[in-house]
Every structure is written in C-alpha cells, then in structure tokens.
Structure 1
Amino acid sequence: MTKLFWNVLKLSPLVVAATFFAANTAFAVEAKEGVTSVAQLSQESNSIGQVTSVSQFSDVQPTDWAFQSLQSLVERYGCVAGYPGGTFRGNRAMTRYEFAAGLNACLDRVNELIATATADLPTKDDLATLQRLQEEFSAELETLRGRVDQIEARTAELEGKQFSTTTKLKGEAIFALSDVFGGENKKVGENTTATFSNRVRLTLESSFTGTDKLQLRLNSGDIASNATSSGTNMTRLGFDTSGTANAISIDKANYSFNLGEKLAVKVDATGAELNDNVTNFNPDFQSSGTGAISRYGRFSPIYRSGSGGAGVTATFNPKGKISLTGAYLSNDNNNPGVNRGVFEGDNAVFGQLAFKPNDKFNVGLTYARTYTDNVGGFDNFASSTGSSKANNPFGTTVAATADNYGIQASFKLSDKATLGGWYGFTKAERVNGTADADISYWAATLGIKDFAREGNTLGLIFGQPPKLTGGSGATVAKDVDTSYHLEALYKMQLNERIQVTPSLLVIFNPEHNNNNDTIYVGTLRTTFSF
C-alpha cells in the first residue's frame, strides 16, 4: 500500500470498515497469475448477500478492532455484504483489486444517498477521504469496471448462442478394437481377423416442467455381431450394431413424467427397453458404453423382454424402500395388419417388485409374460445371449408364449466393492400346445472401484448363459452340456470424458457342448462422452 493509503485509514471509520469489507467482496480473488476468471467472479458474486446489522455476522465480535467502523458502515451506508452461513471472514488478506471493489460499492451507496437527499448524509471528512481514495485507486476501479463490462458482454454472447433453454445435447462415441479366436478346431481364429469399428449416439433431452423429460436419440454404428464368425450368440458384444452399417436412425423416442411423488411414468414411442426403464441391479456393468463388454454381462436377459417397440412403464413409490413396477411393450405397435397392432401382435407384460432396505442391499423379483408369432424376430427366448436351442427351442418360427421369472440382487461389500448377480428361468410353450421348453441361466458380478488408481474399475463376471434344460415335443432337444461365461475388464478413466476398457471374454464349452473348444474375445473399447 502507498503512504497515502495508510494515512487515510486514520481519517475515518468509514475507510477502516471499507477496508475490512473489501477483503470479502464478490469481485475479489486474484489467482496466483494475477487474473480473476469470469467463473470465479460469477461464483463469488452469487455467494454473498447484503446485511442490515453487524450482529448478523457470527464471526464479528464487539472486541474486534474494526467493529465500530463496520457497525457504522452497515447502519449508515448499507454497503456491506457477507458469506453464506452468516460469516464475514474479516481476517482474510486482500489485494488492491479487492479494496477497489469494496470502495466502489461504498461510492455507489454514497452517491445514492446524496441523490435521494437522505438524512444520513456522509460527513465532509468522509467525502474528502473517499475522494482521495478514489483518486488513489482510480486505475484499479477502472480495471474493475472493465472486467464487469467484459462479463456482461460474454454473458450476453453466451445467451445469444445457447443451444436451447429447455434441451440438452449429450453424446457418446465408441471406438472398438476386437478379435475372436479359439473355438471348434481353432477355426474361429483362422477365419476371423481383428476389427476396428464404431458406434455413435447423440441424445436430445428436453424438459418442459422441470420434472419431466423428452428423450430423442440418434444412433449410428458398424460394430458387427460376433455370432456370425464364432457361431454362437454367447460371444456377442454389449454394444454391437449388427446390420446398421453406420446408417443414422432415431432408435429412441420417449417421454417420462411424474404423477405426484409416488408414481413415475415413461411412455416409449420407439426403442423401448426395460433395462432403461427399471432398476436392473447391475450398476457397474449395465451400460453398453461404459459397462460390461459382453451382451450377457450387462444384466439379466429378462430385461430384454419386448425390447425395440413402443410401450408404457409405471413405477409406484420409485424412491421408497419398496417399489412396484408394471410395463406393457409392443413390437407390432405400428402394424395395422391382422393379429398385429398394439394389443394383438408381439407383446410383453412385465412386473417387478424391488426391495431396498438400505444403501448396501438391493433385491428384485421379476416376471415377464411374452407372446411372439415369429421366434427369432421380436423376442427370441434367450434374447440372443445363450445357445441357439435356448433362443429357438422349437426349431421353427411358430407362435409361442413364455413365462419368464427372475431374481436379481446387488450388495455393497464396501464403499468400493459391489457384488451382484441374477438367476432366471423361462417356461416357453407353443400356442398350439404341442411343445414346451425350459430355459435357465445365472451369473455373478464383482465390481471394484478405484482399483490401482482412483476412478478406475475392475470388473469380473462369471455365469452360465441361457441353456435349454428340458421340455417336451418332437422338436425339443435340450442342451446336453454346460457353457460358462467368464469376463474380466478394467475400466480406465483417463479423464471426465474419456474411458478406455481392455477386456477378455472367455466362453467355455460354447453352445453348451463339451466338444467345442473354448472361444476367446479380446476387446479394447474407448468411450468418449460429452
């Protein structure tokens, strides 16, 4: 400070209090480089508020050396502000910019008092002191005004260029390097080569009331299904886009809203997926972009019932310890033909009771009743995750129904480790009653967060993919052996927007046949999100 500054401090309590105040002003904090950012100014200006009595500050005592000056400044001029929680923080060091900001606030208030001819006018000594201070800090005051002008200009520019006041744009891009090797007589490795492919999704999320959401998603990709080269759906990746060849489509359109505090509703016009609409008890691995690498490892196949069409899902008491969900999905919703449409075509009726007694344990009982007139089209019974017999036990495309039962659970072993798993059973039956089939599957998952490095996650998944275990009818021939699914992945969070996941998927006894050699799928997935 200059000699003038120390001299004027002795002249008036107004100046002493202004100095005390300036150490806490909104336009204050200079960075180490000497520059205060727009974000800092905006954040600090929102963090303080004017006070009308010095007693409002919990950290200012009558014994403080500047108490009388601060009290005078508050009561006479009303240009003192504090921090949330009723604190003043008067012992902080300050910069010349901070002092200038505090001085500027008091000058504005003095000018206001003069203009309104208020009885509590400043004294001549105060005015003289303020004049000398204004001259001393004229450069800082001018810089401060320039910064404010810049903030206002940038704010106006951002408001003019903002995308939408109601809509957010989210994006995800996956780059995947993958190879399949091993298999029956090692022919898989001989007949396939490594692939590099992609999937891109852009999602528009709009809200009109603050508690609702309209979602529209564009999808494109060229990640082929491994089933073609390996001969089994057990090797499929959880993010493949078979058949799209980078064509762009709207694969999701839905609207969710609340009917009071106890009922949440979601209406899907296309792209309905139960795993998106209800709790699926596999939080570390459910996402196709940042979860498990395999299709089967993401969640129980029961949540794929009826996927792809339209429908409505309603959850009662969604935030409570016990919640109940009901859903109806249709895949023939836009087909006006005979035995088609919303109610007569392929459909799924779904129900789930979820119980979450605390933050550590979560369990669900799930049921789905499905109908399809073309197995392998709308809803194959294993959702393209198990053996070919489990997906189509009747050997032909016939009308059939299925009762699907599932139990899923997740348990937090600690703040960083989560153990999960599921078991499912399906009873399928031809509509004409000539055949039925039993299908079962299970899996266990383990996710360990911050493994080796903060932000990274180690994942292990082991289980038995859907298997045809029994049934009756001339065309039903159960799987005689048992396949096992083993998956290991390590999600490396490079930063907030980029995740790299190396993984290895091992299928023992593919297609539930001990004569088939083990298949390996090595994948390196890089996910960009924005």
Structure 2
Amino acid sequence: MLLGSIGLTTTNALADAIAPQSRETPAANADFLQQLDRYNNQSDSLDQVTSVQELKDVAPTEWAYEALRSLVERYGCIVGYPDSTYRGNRALTRWEFAAGLNACMNTIERLIQENVAVLKEDVDTLKRLAQEFEAELAALGGRVDNLEGRVAFLEDNQFSTTTKLTGEVVFAVAAATNNGGTDNQAVFQNRTRLYLETSFTGEDILYTGLAAGNSPRFDLPSQGTGIPTGEGTFTFQDYADNDVAIDFLSYFTPIGDWAEVFVTAAAGATSDYLPTAGNDPIDDGGDGGSGALTLFGAHNPIYYIGGGAGAGFNLKFGDTFTLSTSYLAGPSDAASPAEGAGIFNGDYAALGQLTITPNDSLTFVLTYVNSYHSAGTPIFNYGFATSPDSTGVVGTSFANFPGGTDARVSANSFGVGASYRVAPQFVVSAWGGYTIADIRNVSEDGEIWNYALSLAFPDLFGEGNLGGLIAGVQPYLGNPAEVGFVGASNNIPIHIEAFYRYQLNDNISITPGIVYLNAPDQQDDEDAILGVVRTTFTF
C-alpha cells in the first residue's frame, strides 16, 4: 500500500537519523530503527518504482554490496564517482560505502515524505545496513559538521554577498620583422584585467573592470596618411606604462526569457553583448587572452567600429532568431557637454544585427552599422578615446582615415558572417565586410573591404587545448586614388595567423603563434612577420 502518515518527526526523520545532517547519538539511531519497525508493520509488499543501471564496476563480494546495488537500481539513488563508476574495478572502502548508503537513505526518506511506494523488504535491508555501518554514518555526520562550519566562516568573511572578483593576466614575449620601416626589438609585454561582477537580482550583472598594461604595438610599414597601420595589433596591446584605468563599466539584465538589456558607461563595444561568434571558439570576445592572437583574427572588424558609452539590447524570437541593436557614443564625446559633443552630437556608432541559429551547430549573422567619425578619429577605433598612435585597432591607415586625418567621415557598414561546428573538434567560420565612407569635402565615397576564413580545432591533442588558423584580408581602402591619395599603392593586405593554445590547467594556458602580413598598409613589395608566446592566467 502507499504510505500514509508514519509519524516521522523533524529530529528523528530518516535523513536526520543517519544522513550527513545528523549529529544524533546511537540512542537516536536506535529510535530511528524502531520507526522502521513501525513502518514494516504498516507496509505490504509493493511493486518497485524505479530501475536504473548506472551503478557500474562494483564487485558484489559481500551481501551489503548486492543489497546496496538493489536499492540503487530500485530507487535511483546514484552512488559512485561523477562518471558513475568505482574506478579500478576495486572494492569499496567502508567510508565510500557509507556515503552511498547515505544517498539511498536520503532518497528513500524523500519518497516516504511524498507518499511514494517503498518495498517492505527494502526497509528491512535498510535497517540492517544502518546497523552494520552505524559508526561510519555517525562519522560522516561529523565531517559534514566541519564542512558546514567552514562554509559559515566563508560566508561571514567573504568580500561581498553580491560581488565576486575575476581576473586575467597576460604575459607575452613577442617580436616582429619587416621589410622597410623601423627595426622592431623583441619585447616582454603584459596586461592585467580585474573585474568586479555584481548581481542584484541573481540574473543581472554589473561589470566594473580595471586594467593596466605595458604593451605598445610594433612599428610596421605604412604610407600615405603619415600614421602607422592598424594591422597586426595583438589582443592584449594598446596599453602603456602600467597605468590603471577603467577598462569596462557595463550592466546587463534580462527581461524575462525574450530580451536582454545592455547599458555601458565606459569602454563599451558592440561585441560585448552581441552573439558575434556563434560556435567559434577562436572568438573570446575580441580582446581576451584565450582566443585568437590578433584583434582581426577574433571576429569581423565591423564590431570594432566605434564604441564608448550607450545602450543596446538583444530581442529573441524563439531559439532561432535574435534581433540586436545598440547606440554607442564616442568615449571622449559621450560625457562632454561641449558643442559638437555629447551623446548625440559627437562620434557615434548605431548598430542593428539579425542572428539566425537554425541549430546548435550553425549560426548566421547580418550586421549594419551607421557611424560618424570626427577629424582624427579612426573608423575602427574599438571605443578607445585616443589610441597610442591615433590609429585604428585593425585595418590599414587608408581604411581608418579614408579622407586623411583632417577629414570627418560618415560611414555605412555592412557585415555578414557564418560559423559551423562540423564536428566536436572542428569549427569553420567566415565573414565579410563592406563600408561606404562619406568623406566630407570629397565628392567620391571611400570603399572599404575586409573578409576572412578561420578554422578552429577545439581540444586538439588534449582537452582544453585549441588550434587556430585564420586567413583573410584586413580592412583596406579599395579606391585610394579616387579619394585623394594620388600615387598610393593599392595592394590587398593579406593576413595569415596560426596559433596553438596549450591548456596547462584550468587557470593557465600558453599560446605560441605567428602572424604573416603581406602588403601591410597596401604597399608594394612589403611584408611583416610577428611571432608571440602568450601566457594567460585566469582566476
């Protein structure tokens, strides 16, 4: 028959008698056994309620093993290691057996409280096992006492009840050679990021990021505009003198299951909230220390157009479609009340994107960005107020300043991308971008192109490792002569990047890699090679 009320009390319930929560004396355990006797007298033979076969590699050398196995199969109280085995096909220690027995005690107690059928002979078996392993069960309760005490101490002494600290530190040894331009020396660079992640509801999150580093870019060949090219920028570069600054200040909050709102006050970028990469493990957000070596290699350069302060949201239509939009004002303009600045009268980037995910393995994106760039502000600036060289983070100098450094530019940019997980250890991604640059005081519009194909190999030669290969063309100006750069070379700047991230453990990885640039800054008969060994610490 089904159980009715059997008179279990709070202190003498099944789990309280011999489960980890128990701190009772042997007399209390005897009281528990008496309750089992009373239950026996009320119970008839019942049909089994559950049958599972996840208890593996347990040798039935004693009656207790077979008894516990029977309870596990009948009531679904899984015991063993996370892979459901007792490794090495060995016998259980009495401590391990007590832990398994405790799991079954908790399960059967829950069934009793829910008035679910339990077999009379199983109650007899449970009583006998509890008597034989009484000492181990009591000691197990003492161990839980110690654990609960440690947890209470940590809760009382934690940094914050709403905030946790995460961080990333990058050490990098790098070198670059090039035909022409300044000779580059081998360097040892660094970057540190610390994030305070605060949640007020359990679902929202406020990021407060601090960063410091000493990682200037290499001097690569350039022409025409009088400033260096933005090609070859590593993800950890554009920091100087280890000065600490706000690196990220943004708030994310969901609205039900159908939308997410993103508000950023400093150093915001569209890639912070957009589903830019889909399945691509090479893209770790654009400028992290665990994916691609370069900013260009991470994802479509359209996500580096503009940035600063503003807001955006993702609106979900089922599991297949996500509509995203954002408006970000330039970092130096957003907070300034001066004429020609502010949120709406200075530099900005307004984005709209449709993400299509037919299944878990395939992602398509269609992106549009309308932007304005004041004189001296590169198009692909990634929200930097002023980068060390006043140049873009990706692309040639012509692509970032299609009218020169003294020209204002309004731009309409279009991007397309796809990512397909062919197999668990092989992902193919591709993107393309086209920008129409309306250069003030120039009759002809600038035409800027970029495209790439990337191959990712997750868990290559070991779990957690990552191999990556990126081949493409960095943003370049397709018609320099028509917009005023008479006599400028117009070669296509090819970018080839290869790296292998070796995961030493959960918190440390080492990533050697190489980048080859052909025709940097669209020049004739020029190339550059960059090599790096990046070590990343996360916590």
The separation in 2 between residues aligned to 1:247 and 1:90, in whole angstroms, is: 52
What's the offset of the Cα at 1:152? 3.2
Aligned residue for 2:281, secondary structure, equals: coil
Q: How does 1:12-161 map to 2 (within 5 A)?
A: 26-27=19-20, 58=50, 86-87=75-76, 143-144=139-140, 146-161=142-157
Aligned equivalent of 2:206: 214
1:395 match = 404
Match of 1:285 in 2: 282
Q: Which residue of structure 2 lines up, in the alignment, with residue 451 of structure 1? A: 460
- Are the aligned partners of 2:375 and 2:406 in contact in 1 as well (CA < 8 Å)? yes
Alpha carbons of structure 1 residues 478 and 496: separation in structure 2 relative to 1, 3 Å: same
Aligned residues of 2:305 and 2:379 also touching (Cα < 8 A): no
Question: CA shift at 1:303, angstroms?
Answer: 0.2
Give 1:176's match in structure 2, choosing from 172, 175, 194: 172
For 1:299 and 1:402, the matched residues in 2 are separated by 20
Q: CA deviation at 1:318?
A: 6.9
Counterpart position of 1:355: 356
* Cα offset, 1:364, TM superposition: 0.8
Alignment partner of 1:265 out of 237, 245, 261: 261
Q: Compute the TM-score of the two structures, normalised by the length of structure 2.
A: 0.72
Which stretches in structure 2 are left out of the alignment for 5+ residues? 1-13, 22-38, 53-63, 65-70, 81-85, 106-123, 223-227, 383-390
Shift of 1:210: 1.8
- Alpha-carbon deviation of 1:529? 0.5
Cα distance 1:143–1:339, how it changes in 2: closer, same or farther (>3 A)?
same
In structure 2, relative to structure 1, the CA distance for the partners of 1:477 and 1:402 (3 Å cut) is farther
Larger Rg over CA atoms: 1
Match runs of 1:347-386 below 5 Å: 347-376=348-377, 383-386=392-395
Deviations 1:273-303 (A, max 9, x none): 1111102126322222111111211111110
How far apart in 2 are the matches of 1:84 and 1:304? 56
Asked whether the equivalents of residues 372 and 379 of structure 1 are also in contact (C-alpha less than 8 Å), the reply is no
* Distance (Å, rounded) in 1 between the aligned partners of 2:220 and 2:142: 65
How far, CA to CA, are the matches of 1:488 and 1:210 in structure 2? 39
| The 10-residue stretch of structure 1 (387-396 or 223-232) with the greater mean CA deviation from structure 2 | 223-232
Q: Report what 2:340 is aligned to.
A: 339
Per-residue CA shift, 1:191-234, capped at 9, x if unaligned? 22210111111111111112211111111111111246885321
Alpha-carbon contact 1:446-1:460 (below 8 Å) kept: yes
| Alpha carbons of structure 1 residues 137 and 321: separation in structure 2 relative to 1, 3 Å | closer
Please list, as runs of the form range in 1=range in 2, the aligned pairs for 1:403-422 lying within 5 A after superposition.
Answer: 403-422=412-431
Instruction: Flag the 1:264–1:253 CA change in 2: closer, same or farther, 3 A.
Output: same
Q: How far, CA to CA, are the matches of 1:528 and 1:84 in structure 2?
A: 44
CA distance in 1, matches of 2:99, 2:484: 92
Q: Distance in 2 between matches of 1:90 and 1:208?
A: 36
Shift of 1:146: 4.2
Looking at structure 1, the residues matched to 79 and 193 of structure 2 have their Cα atoms a distance apart, in angstroms, of 51
Deviation at 1:387, TM superposition (A): 1.5
Residue 90 of structure 1 deviates from its aligned partner by: 11
Give 1:438 deviation, angstroms: 0.8
- Contact preservation (8 Å) 2:347, 2:374: yes
Structure 1 Cα separation of the partners of residues 73 and 158 of structure 2: 30
Residue of structure 2 in register with 1:317 after alignment = 316
Change (3 A) 1:477 1:168: farther
Give distance in 2, aligned partners of 1:205 and 1:167: 5
- What is the aligned-residue RMSD (CA, Å)? 3.7
Deviations along 1:339-389, one digit per CA (max 9) or x if unpaired, are 110011111111111111112221111110101222335756994312211
* Contact 2:328-2:349 at 8 Å conserved across structures: yes
8 Å contact 2:466–2:501 — kept in the other structure? yes
Q: What do residues 34-71 of structure 1 show as CA deviations (whole Å, max 9, x unaligned)?
A: xxxxxxxxxxxxxxxx99977675359xxxxxxxxx9x
Partner of 1:330: 329
Deviation at 1:245, TM superposition (A): 1.4
Q: Is residue 233 of structure 1 aligned with residue 234 of structure 2?
A: no
- Whether the 8 Å CA contact 1:468–1:478 is kept in 2: the answer is no
**Residues 397 and 157 of structure 1: is their aligned pair in 2 closer, same or farther, counting only changes over 3 Å?**
same
Give, in whole Å, the separation in 2 of the partners of 1:411 and 1:312.
Answer: 29
**One-letter amino acid of the counterpart of residue 219, structure 1:** A
- Work out the number of aligned pairs and report it: 436
Which residue of 471, 484, 498 corresponds with 1:462?
471
Query: What amino acid sits opposite 1:428 in the alignment?
Result: A
Q: CA deviation at 1:259?
A: 2.1
| 1:471-495 per-position Cα deviation (integer Å, ceiling 9, x unaligned) | 6444576642122111110011111
Identity across matched positions, percent: 33
The structural deviation recorded for 1:469 is 0.6
Deviation at 1:396, TM superposition (A): 3.1
Distance 1:142 1:258, change over 3 A: closer
